[in-house]
Amino acid sequence: HYLLIDAIDHENHHVDRSPAQHGPDADHTLNAEALQAMLPGYLDPALDFFDIFLRHQGAAEDLPKVRWHQVHAADPGFRESATWPPAGSTAYELHLAEGKLAEEEPVTGTASWVHDPTDPVPSASPNSFAYLQTSPRLQDWSTRPDVAVFDAAPTPHALDLTGPVTLSLHLSTTGPSSDLFAKLLDVHPDGEAELVAHGRAHVPGPAHRVDLSLGHAGYRLRPGHRLRLHLHSSDHPEFVLHPGTDANPWLATDTVKTRQEIRLGGPDGARLRLTVTPATRA
């Protein structure tokens, strides 16, 4: 088995594109020259694999078992490792406290938000397949009353996220069920916030334990940046709205506001688990 992980969206827009690389002239879905410039990075890793295993040109041991892209690393390009997560990666756990992500377990408490189907949390991009085409920023979502926000302290040194990201919590709702959306953000020193990882789940019943995967990250948190977690119950129009009732969400015409609550601290306290590798520093 061989693993290739890149930092692209479904339409192959890359997260490391500069702002100058946006616009119709740089859009490979519209411009033939842009398409020709994009294709080598898209095809070459696959061709390397096919050359060895279909054309028998080269040796299998010459191909790295894992190639992965580390977003915002000082030296761009693919990293290579024998395993994923790479050797040296460790678990790093942060507790959700009142507005904070902290290493120390907080005193017991709760955090909550209200889901209003008539005023849903909007999706960050009008086209989820081309999410990175416009490099969306999510700092404005942090001021919404229907988004619960948890901030870590700025990191003094670079920290590499290199593997799975999971969120464990106990969620209760005033409705018959609920939807949970979780977004892990990188907050820049100037306040801009970009997406690192995200997950979603339908939570059955009025109270339920949730172990939510936010996928995997290959991401460098640079000095002075900090992690932020958003929790909310809608992401519209990318995802169909929960009506707040037990009606079919695709057919529901009546909606009800619901209140979601999670536990902080204690055995059921919400926790964010990252996989990290200390970044190499000069």
Contact assessment for residue 11 and residue 129, using Cβ atoms and an 8 Å cutoff: yes
Query: pLDDT of 144-201, one tens digit each?
Result: 999 999 999 999 999 999 999 999 999 999 999 999 999 999 999 999 999 999 999 9
Residue 44's φ and ψ, nearest 5 degrees, are: -55, -45
Contact assessment for residue 113 and residue 147, using Cβ atoms and an 8 Å cutoff: yes
Query: pLDDT of 85-124, one tens digit each?
Result: 999 999 999 999 999 999 999 999 999 999 999 999 999 9
Query: pLDDT of 17-66, one tens digit each?
Result: 655 556 777 788 888 998 998 899 889 989 999 999 999 999 999 899 99
pLDDT-derived band at 278 (thresholds 50, 70, 90) equals confident
Cα–Cα distance for residue pair 175/71, rounded to 1 Å: 39
pLDDT-derived band at 237 (thresholds 50, 70, 90) equals very high
Geometric angle at alpha carbon 236, from 177 and 139, rounded to 5°: 105
Geometric angle at alpha carbon 273, from 223 and 221, rounded to 5°: 15
Give the chain as a 3 state SS string.
CCEEECCECCCCCECCCCHHHCCHHHCCCCCHHHHHHHHHHHHHHHHHHHHHHCCCCCCHHHCCCEEEECECCCCCCEEEECCCCCCCCEEEEEEEECCEEECCCCCCEEEEEEECCCCCCECCCCCHHHHHHHCCCCHHHHHCCCCEEEECCCCCCCEEEEEEEEEEEEEEECCCEEEEEEEEEEECCCCCEEEEEEEEEEEECCEEEEEEEEEEEEEEECCCCEEEEEEECCCECCCCCCCCCCCCCCCCCCCCCEEEEEEECCCCCCEEEEEEEECCCC
Look up the CATH number of domain 90-278: 2.60.120.260
pLDDT of residue 280: 52
Residue 90's alpha-carbon distances to 13, 98, 146, 159, 275, in angstroms, are 30, 26, 33, 12, 6
Alpha carbons within 13 angstroms on the beta-carbon side of residue 280 total 5
Q: Which pTM was predicted?
A: 0.93
The domain ranges of the chain are: 3-81, 90-278
List the end-to-end C-alpha distance of the chain, in Å, as a whole number: 34
Of 195, 193, 182, the closest CA to residue 273 belongs to: 182
pLDDT of residue 19: 52
State both tokens at 52.
């060895």
Residues pairing with 186 in the sheet: 194, 227
Cα–Cα distance for residue pair 27/49, rounded to 1 Å: 27
State both tokens at 39.
């294709």
Q: Which amino acid is at 123?
A: S
Q: What is the mean pLDDT of residues 70-82?
A: 90
